[in-house]
Amino acid sequence: MRFLPLALFTLTTLFVTHQARAQWMIGGFMQGHRKASLAIIGSQESYSTYFINKNETQNPNLGTVTTQALTAVGTYGLGYDLDLIVAAPYIRTEASAGYFPKQEGFQDASATLRWEAYDYKLGKKLRLSWLFAVGYSMPIQNYVNDAMVAIGRGSKNWDGRTMLHLKGKSFFITGQYGYIRRGQVILDHVVNYYDPSQLNPNSGSKVNVPDVTEIIVRGGYVNTWLNLDVWGQQQTPYTKGTDIGPGIPFPTNAVGFTRLGATAYLRLAKQFGLTAGYNTIIDGRNVGKSSQINGGIVIGHWTANN
Amino acid sequence: MRLFFVTITLGALLVWVAGCSEPTIDEGVLPFIVPTSTDADGGSWKTVVLKAATEISVPQPLATTSAAYQQELSDVKNGVLAATPEQNTAVNYWAYGAVLRWNQIARQLVAKYNVAPGYDYATGQTTPAESANPYAGAPYAARVYALLSVAQYDALVVAWRAKFQYNRPSLEQQGVISRAPVLDVPSYPSEDAAVAEVSCQVLAYLFPNEVAFLKAKATEHKQSRIWAGASVPSDVKAGEALAATLAAKVIDRAKVDRFGAANDPSNTWQTALAKATYDQKWTSLELPARAPILPLAGKVKTWYDSTSIAKLVPATPPATTSADFQKALSEVHDIAASRTRDQSRIASYWDNGPNTYSLSGLWNLLTEEFIRENGQNELRSARTYALLNRAMHDATTTSWRTQYTYFVPRPSQIDPTIKTATVIPNTPSYVSDRAAVSSTAATLLSYLFPSDATKLAAQATEASVSGLYAGIHYRFDTDEGTKLGTSIGQLAVAAAKADGAK
């Protein structure tokens, strides 16, 4: 069952789009040497409350922001201990009130290498593995990045993470810690908000997107035909960032959130399965308090528990 | 082996990822400019608030042979040799240009205080603006820059006159090796001290909450010129004294320019709205609806000839029932429905809405580049800004006057399906103030910097049409705004031709 959680992880959280860029999770199950899979996931996410810094607010000039995404995720086992995962989302986002225009387009493509560095047997039924992953993502097209309603923030990012993955016959639990380094973005305009710490604060268009750290804990039930799991994810701004406000560029905002979710996978045929999930943000910073449902198909080589 | 290698690579990556510090805004470090001319006749240039430079007399300095002066000089020489790293930082910061730095500080403060009153969604109440700053919006910003630049310019004309009247030799000619480039003009009185003091006092009047910040800046600025080896303390003192006299006169003008009533505390704009003859009346598109921005800013005293400017207010635009209007509306609609990425970029670049230094601030930033490229000295930089900011303030005032005469609705008010790339300004649509301000700026700057005329014309065109791309202006707003702005720019060019500077 190594494929599923990976795919599901990937799918479920690919779409945190309005404030964060598309996040996607890497799971602890390896794909298997020369085995491939493709998942196509649709999702819908909306919020009418959002956090300015950590304070909840609503805005009648915004209403409810709804984001739909269609994401393709491909996974391929380059070796028994090395996987390549690529993903690309197409996103549409729209506000129900006010005059913000709808935004639509390809967001950020990403590629990740996952390496299972160590694999220990604990007794007869348990295995513990220690994994590392390195990923890179960048915008596919030059979308609008500095707007309340936008499909992403436009930065190029490096992502490094490590995972501990414990699996038994019919359950697993994975804990991971990651650091996402977000690069600089060039805005459409000169930045000139007041910041006394800057020597000459009104001369540039290039701004930094704050880096974040991430902790994810995920656990669930697995068998040959069905997967059920629950997870929690917490992203925390690591570097200095701003808060949502007039004149403040959106990409420089410090974005964080705590998100809870659940995912189900049902295998219908040897090479075909369905997935569905739900997740919701319970707390955050400069992010929409959104809930998301998603569903999709998973095609490919899915051998259970090999 | 492979495991080892990958572990090392990942480890290195993590260290790299965590170790770099990243500034929130990336700014370059620019080299100093070396002025190309001393403008020895600068003391005879036509002043703005003063009738002439002679209106403020600068006392005769002590002779360079006097013991007191020689003591000052040797103190400065020793100080230059003993400068601390902190002093050097200050020297380098201010050596960038006195006029340029104070213009930057003004932009910074405008961005900080250019705040519309907020709306508290929890209580349903509009929160008041800061009591020290009830006036946000483009006219507020344009006035700050105009008052500051005029004060700097007049102060420098007075300083220049005294410099060449008394001819106290520059410190460089007396063997002081300065820590930054210094213009080779007589050192008494210090042009930096004059700019520092007058800027500090005028900005302190405009931003009463920032007095401590401004005083600290001005003190550092004046000291930095002594640390740099550009002035002796008596040069600085004389610059400071003439600036203080002048600042009072500039503030007197500011007190009676009618801007104090521009936010219309008794809501007379509603009467004007009722009387307006345009067939559909503007309403605020904000939720909840708010009073418009500075409705009486159109009545503010102009810098250039008020009679000529009053004649420039454009005629009534086509009525909403006319075919011309419908054509203009559908153009806005079509652009908004299929806005390209580049159109969004242009809309965003020229927007400069709330909490920014405003469009006139952007033109000040763009002008900084021209001033540096052309190696203008302090006096000439101040003249450039004084001509520019007076013209942009007048263009803003006249745009406001037009907007609050006709009260033409924004496109989205007539057709709510028009989504805008930027926030819809809470003012009537006709005319486009960004077209007026940008055409004014480009007309004047093309005269002052003829080699950049092509670039400036392109920028003005882009700025003017940006409102249409954003979905917040009709084509006729833009066209009439451009016409208005060009005419005001020509008034400024005429003033530039007649002020005595070559």
Residues B435-493: pLDDT tens digits? 999 999 999 999 999 999 999 999 999 999 999 999 999 999 999 999 999 999 999 99
How far CA A8 is from CA of A27, A113, A130, in Å, comes to 8, 17, 20
* Residue A226, in any domain of the structure: yes
| CATH number, position B93 | 1.10.606.20
* Residue B70, in any domain of the structure: no
What pLDDT shows up at residue A11?
35
* Residue B75, in any domain of the structure: no
* Residue B404, in any domain of the structure: yes
B236 and B194 in contact (C-beta within 8 Å)?
Answer: no
Quick one: B361 and B459 in the same domain? yes
Q: Residue B17: which of A179, A195, A247 has the nearest Cβ?
A: A179
* Residue B62, in any domain of the structure: no
What pLDDT shows up at residue B371?
96
Which alpha helices (DSSP H) does B229-357 contain, by range? Answer: 233-255, 269-275, 306-310, 323-337, 341-349
Q: Which of residues 104-163 of B touch A (CB under 8 A)?
A: 104, 107-109, 111-112, 114-116, 121
Quick one: B240 and B267 in the same domain? no
Quick one: B291 and B229 in the same domain? no
In this prediction, residues B256-262 reach a mean pLDDT of: 92
- The residue from B210, B236, B255 where one domain ends is B255
* Residue A306, in any domain of the structure: no
Q: Is the pLDDT score of B5 beyond 80?
A: no
Q: Is the pLDDT score of B210 beyond 90?
A: yes
Range of the domain at A46: 3-300
CB contact (8 A) between residue B26 and residue A208: yes
* Residue A124, in any domain of the structure: yes
* Residue B327, in any domain of the structure: yes
Q: Residue A247: which of B7, B286, B354 has the nearest Cβ?
A: B354
* Residue A305, in any domain of the structure: no
Q: Alpha-carbon distance B465 to B347, whole Å?
A: 8
- Amino acid sitting at position B160: W
Quick one: B227 and B91 in the same domain? yes
Q: Residue B24: which of A100, A146, A240 has the nearest Cβ?
A: A240
**CB contacts < 8 A (A, B):** 142
How many whole angstroms from its chain centre is CA B300? Answer: 18
State the distance between the two ends of chain B, measured CA to CA, in whole angstroms.
75
Quick one: B356 and B455 in the same domain? yes
User: CB pairs under 8 A, 24+ apart, for B319-325?
Assistant: B319/B278, B319/B279, B320/B279, B320/B280, B320/B409, B320/B414, B321/B279, B324/B476, B325/B474
Render chain A in DSSP notation, one character per residue.
--HHHHHHHHHHTTT--SSS-------S----TT-EEEEEEEEEEEES-EEETTEEE--TTT--EEEEEEEEEEEEEEETTEEEEEEEEEEEEEESSSSPPPEEEE-EEEEEEEEEEEEEEETTTEEEEEEEEEEEEEESS----SSSS-S-----EEEEEEEEEEE-SSEEEEEEEEEEEE-EEE-SS------TTSSSTTS-SEEEPPPEEEEEEEEEEE-SSEEEEEEEEEEEE-S--B-S-TTS-GGGB--EEEEEEEEEEEEEETTEEEEEEEEEEEEEESSB--EEEEEEEEEE---TT-
Q: How many domains does chain B fold into?
A: 2
* Residue B330, in any domain of the structure: yes
Quick one: B316 and B241 in the same domain? no
CB contact (8 A) between residue A202 and residue B3: no
Rg of the Cα trace of chain A? Answer: 19
Q: Which residues of B touch A189 (CB under 8 A)?
A: 348-352
* Residue B474, in any domain of the structure: yes
Specify the DSSP class assigned to residue A279.
Answer: E
- The residue from B232, B255, B278 where one domain ends is B255
- The residue from B255, B281, B297 where one domain ends is B255
Q: Residue A58: which of B121, B213, B351 has the nearest Cβ?
A: B121
Q: Which residues of B touch A142 (CB under 8 A)?
A: 341
Q: Which of residues 251-310 of B touch A (CB under 8 A)?
A: 285-288
| CATH number, position A11 | 2.40.160.40
Q: How far is A42 from chain B (nearest CA, A)?
A: 25
A178 and A154 in contact (C-beta within 8 Å)?
Answer: no
A218 and A230 in contact (C-beta within 8 Å)?
Answer: yes
Range of the domain at B464: 263-498
Q: Is the peptide bond before A86 cis (omega within 30 degrees of 0)?
A: no
Q: Alpha-carbon distance A218 to A277, whole Å?
A: 14
Q: What is the mean pLDDT of each run of 10 residues along chain A (306 residues)?
A: 38 33 62 90 95 90 94 93 94 94 95 94 92 96 93 94 93 94 92 63 78 95 89 93 86 94 91 93 96 93 48
Quick one: B335 and B480 in the same domain? yes
CB contact (8 A) between residue A99 and residue B412: yes
CB contact (8 A) between residue A200 and residue B112: no
CB contact (8 A) between residue A146 and residue B286: no
CB contact (8 A) between residue B24 and residue A181: no
* Residue A30, in any domain of the structure: yes
* Residue B455, in any domain of the structure: yes
Q: How many domains does chain A fold into?
A: 1
Per-residue pLDDT reduced to its tens digit, B270-322: 999 999 999 999 999 988 788 888 999 999 999 999 999 999 999 999 999 99
Quick one: B175 and B319 in the same domain? no
Quick one: B273 and B246 in the same domain? no
Cα maximum dimension of chain A: 64
How far CA B84 is from CA of B80, B227, B308, B370, in Å, comes to 9, 9, 55, 33
- Average pLDDT score, chain B: 91
- Average pLDDT score, chain A: 86
Q: Residue B17: which of A181, A245, A252 has the nearest Cβ?
A: A181
